[in-house]
Homo-oligomer: A and B are copies of this chain.
Amino acid sequence: MTEERDKRILLAHGGGGRLTANLIASKILPRFANDALRQLGDSATVHAGGGPILFTTDSFVVKPLFFPGGDIGKLAVCGTVNDLAVAGARPIALSMALIIEEGFEMDLLDRILESAAAAAREAGVEIVAGDTKVVERGAADGIFITTAGVGERIAELSMGQIRSGDAVIINGTIGDHGMAIMSQRKGIEFDTPIRSDCAALSPLTCAVVQAADGVRFMRDATRGGVAAVLNEIASGAGRGIEITQDQLPVNAAVQAAADMLGFDLLEIANEGKVIIVVAEEAAATVLDVCRSHKLGREAAVIGRVLKAADEPMVEMATAVGGRRIVQMPYGRQLPRIC
């Protein structure tokens, strides 16, 4: 029997956690079966123009539209650039499609477009195609932006290359984006303002894969946070992952906000953070490259890949000396975080 809650879309279906994964597995994959999609990578490989290109898309519905450290325009550019970047690509071009609510202020549109243009310049990509649709008042909430992107492969990465003993690296503090949005939304102010980490990662990821040979796989930790990405990697690699809580870079104000609001930072969205799985012997090089880059000053080795397992899990050695399992988030905590 189908339960009533299975008959309708829930907010959690868009949360990037278990329900999103279920939706994709039950509704999307069976209908659009093809090798490229089945990988469920951050970007798909397409053969066109004589060679392989990487191709990806994301919609952005973030609320509020403006937040410390960014806005929906910057986010829409960085988010898609990052999906290309972590797949081992150099981003080349983006498309940008706007769905705008009738009555939306032209001044806000100006600011959003300006910000998107600045982010694209900084990431070195051109926005080459676009579309604008307007819906009547009440049919959308201000503005939604969908970007797609194409890039050129500069490194062959995959979860299948991951080996036991590989190091797990992150390029900086976790949870900044999600907590910046939540603080803004709840009207909470802190002495040290919380800023989103929203940034285009391609300059960093290109530097990393060009400097080191042993990079196996990268993924940006957006919806579902580091917890979701580590679980996806463990599952895809067929190997457990062990992380150490003390090694996780955390911004003190962000931790305070998370504690106050009852969130686990591991499950909170980032918009400028990448998990890099790298051969043990190349870890030091990758760490050096990250730390010498403005997007990776606080990079750290946060864990390692364990031996092959039938039910690979993500475990964390806690700060107080215990161990806990880091689960795949369910996905309902933070609607419209990106």
Residue A57 CB within 8 A of the other chain = yes
Residue A193 CB within 8 A of the other chain = no
What residue of chain B has the Cβ atom nearest to residue A97's Cβ? B59
Closest approach, in angstroms, between the C-beta of A299 and any C-beta of chain B? 28
Choose among B27, B36, B53 the residue that contacts A109 (Cβ–Cβ < 8 A): B27
How far does the alpha carbon of A279 sit from the alpha carbon of B336 in the complex, in Å? 52
> In the complex the two chains form, is A56's CB within 8 Å of B113's CB?
no
Given A48-B93, A99-B61, CB of A27 within 8 Å of CB of B110: yes
Choose among B56, B110, B130, B136 the residue that contacts A336 (Cβ–Cβ < 8 A): B136
> In the complex the two chains form, is A95's CB within 8 Å of B48's CB?
no
| B residues in contact with A134, CB < 8 Å | 9-15, 335
CB under 8 Å from chain B, chain A span 100-144: 100-107, 109-110, 113-114, 116-117, 120, 126-136, 138-141, 144
Stretch at the interface among A146-154, A181-189, A286-294: A146-154
How far does the alpha carbon of A327 sit from the alpha carbon of B46 in the complex, in Å? 41
> In the complex the two chains form, is A34's CB within 8 Å of B128's CB?
yes
| B residues in contact with A46, CB < 8 Å | 92-93, 128, 150
Quickly give the copy total for this chain.
2
How far does the alpha carbon of A107 sit from the alpha carbon of B9 in the complex, in Å? 10
Residue A55 CB within 8 A of the other chain = yes
What residue of chain B has the Cβ atom nearest to residue A152's Cβ? B48
Residue A49 CB within 8 A of the other chain = yes
> In the complex the two chains form, is A117's CB within 8 Å of B32's CB?
yes
| B residues in contact with A140, CB < 8 Å | 61, 139-141, 144
How far does the alpha carbon of A9 sit from the alpha carbon of B126 in the complex, in Å? 25
> In the complex the two chains form, is A48's CB within 8 Å of B59's CB?
no
What residue of chain B has the Cβ atom nearest to residue A52's Cβ? B49
A contact residues, range: 35 or more
How far does the alpha carbon of A102 sit from the alpha carbon of B7 in the complex, in Å? 11
> In the complex the two chains form, is A95's CB within 8 Å of B135's CB?
no
CB under 8 Å from chain B, chain A span 259-316: none
Residue of A50, A58, A113, A133 contacting most chain B CB atoms (<10 Å): A133
What residue of chain B has the Cβ atom nearest to residue A331's Cβ? B134
Chain A 63-89 interface mask (CB, 8 Å, partner B; 1/0) = 100000000000000000000000000
> In the complex the two chains form, is A44's CB within 8 Å of B128's CB?
yes
Given A31-B113, A48-B93, CB of A106 within 8 Å of CB of B8: yes
Residue A211 CB within 8 A of the other chain = no
> In the complex the two chains form, is A133's CB within 8 Å of B93's CB?
no
How far does the alpha carbon of A135 sit from the alpha carbon of B14 in the complex, in Å? 8
How far does the alpha carbon of A138 sit from the alpha carbon of B37 in the complex, in Å? 31
> Known contacts A36-B129, A37-B128; can you find 4 more A-B pairs with CB under 8 A?
A7-B107, A11-B102, A49-B51, A58-B131
A sample of 19 inter-chain contacts (CB < 8 A) reads: A7-B105, A7-B106, A8-B105, A9-B104, A23-B132, A32-B113, A34-B127, A46-B92, A48-B51, A48-B152, A50-B51, A51-B51, A53-B150, A55-B150, A59-B146, A61-B133, A133-B336, A139-B140, A150-B150
